[in-house]
Amino acid sequence: MRRSRVLECRMTGFTWSEGLIEDTTFRGCALDLAALRFTRLKRVTFEDCVLRDADFQDGRLEAVRFLDCDLTGAGFLSAGCRKVELRRCTLEDLRGIDGLKGAALEWDAILSLAPTMAAALGIRLLQD
């Protein structure tokens, strides 16, 4: 998929495995349960999209922006991020959070993800 705009559509369960999505904008779309495993995303914007339980496992995300998206339960296991931004997104129950290495997040999002990131690194909380 190249140089496309996908606007206000319902794509629940959308599957695009081992493919390429480039220079594309998804705006106002329902993409929950989307399967984007092993897919290369280059210069892609997701704006105001529902990506609950979306799977980006082993994907390569380059210059990808998530703006005002619901990424609850999304999986990033073994993903690679370069120039990826997540702004004003819901990031609860993420899977494979270490796959977001290299992504840029707002301070509030980093603080809310601190327990998940600590667990991924094997860091334990000391009790008084």
At 73-98, the pLDDT tens digits run 999 999 999 999 999 999 999 999 99
**All domains of the chain, ordered by start, with CATH?**
2-120 (2.160.20.80)
Per-residue model confidence as pLDDT tens digits over 6-40:
999 999 999 999 999 999 999 999 999 999 999 99
47 has which bridge partners? 27, 67
DSSP assignment string, 58-107: T-EEES-EEES-B-TT-B-TT-EEES-EEES-B-TT-BSGGGGTT-EE-H
Q: Do 88 and 112 contact (CB within 8 A), yes or no?
A: no
pTM for the full predicted model: 0.93
